[in-house]
Amino acid sequence: MDTATQRKWDAASRSFDFISFGDDHRLGPHKRRLFAKMHGAILMVAAGTGNDFRFFPTGQSILAIDISPRMLERAEKKAAQYQGKIELRQMDVCQLQLPDSSFDSVVTVCTFCSVPEPVVGLRELYRVLKPGGHILMFEHVRSRIGPLGIFLDLMTPLSRRVGPDLNRDTVGNVQKAGFRIRREENVYLDIVKSIEGVKDQ
């Protein structure tokens, strides 16, 4: 278990709902549209305080993991309100204690901006997905627009201290982990994206 990352997100859990209030309301419809594609056995990575549970289609059975026990404590109430089943478990995405080929869908929300070794984590998700399964990601990435990309590079040493990196090439990392990109959609500029990757049969 990566204890440094765990401590960082334990600390962030106190203000997480306040900081993400605007994003949750503004980006909710985009998340709901993406998550409508989830089916079968579902793994949610980095559940956080459970703010995204309300955007899941009802009636699903979901295993939601997070590295931070403080985040999971805050997620308990929201998991109980979900009209379906959400099991919460503390786990590091880079060391998943889950069998191979056991999920049909994997969901991530602003996760791989924060995982210290993103390709390792994505390879773990590739391992636990069934062949033909898909990964649904709502992530922010480095902009390819000149000044914005430089700005995100400059801000990352600051943002990394309390939260995520702002300059990750998550689409490239998904491909490096073995997924085929089925759909990539810009939600805000070319920074906030929904990404759908497939583990081919």
Partner 1 sequence: MLFVIGDYLAGMMVGALTAIGVRAVIWPGMDMVVAMIVGMAIGMAIHLVFGLIFAPLIGMFNAMIPASLIGMYGGMFFGMRDSMAAGSRTLGAAIAVGVVFGAIVVAGVEYYDRTLRGAVVDSGY
Q: Which residues bind partner 1 (CB under 8 A)?
A: 18-23, 25-27, 140, 147-148, 151, 155, 180-193
Nearest distance, CB of residue 98 and partner 1, angstroms:
27
Smallest distance from the beta carbon of 178 to partner 1, in angstroms?
Answer: 16
Amino acid in position 177: A
Q: Which is nearer to partner 1, 64 or 113 (CB)?
A: 113
User: What's the CA gap between 70 and 44, in Å, rounded?
Assistant: 17
State how far the Cα of 126 lies from the Cα of 180, in Å rounded to an integer: 11
- 37 Cβ contact partners less than 8 Å away, ≥ 6 residues apart: 105, 134, 136, 196
Nearer to partner 1, 51 or 60 (CB): 51
As measured in angstroms, the least distance from the Cβ of 26 to partner 1 is 5
Residue 168 gets the label, from left (phi > 0), alpha (psi -120 to 50) or beta, of: beta
Measured from the CB of residue 103, what is the shortest distance to partner 1 in angstroms?
A: 20
As beta bridge partners, residue 108 has 45, 137
Q: Which of 1/162 has CB closer to partner 1?
A: 162
For partner 1, the closer CB: 82 or 151: 151
Residue whose CB is less far from partner 1, 36 or 155: 155
CA atoms 133, 131, 88, 194: torsion sign = negative
- Least spacing, CB of residue 89 vs partner 1, in Å: 28
Amino acid at position 69, single letter: P
CA distance 128 to 29: 28
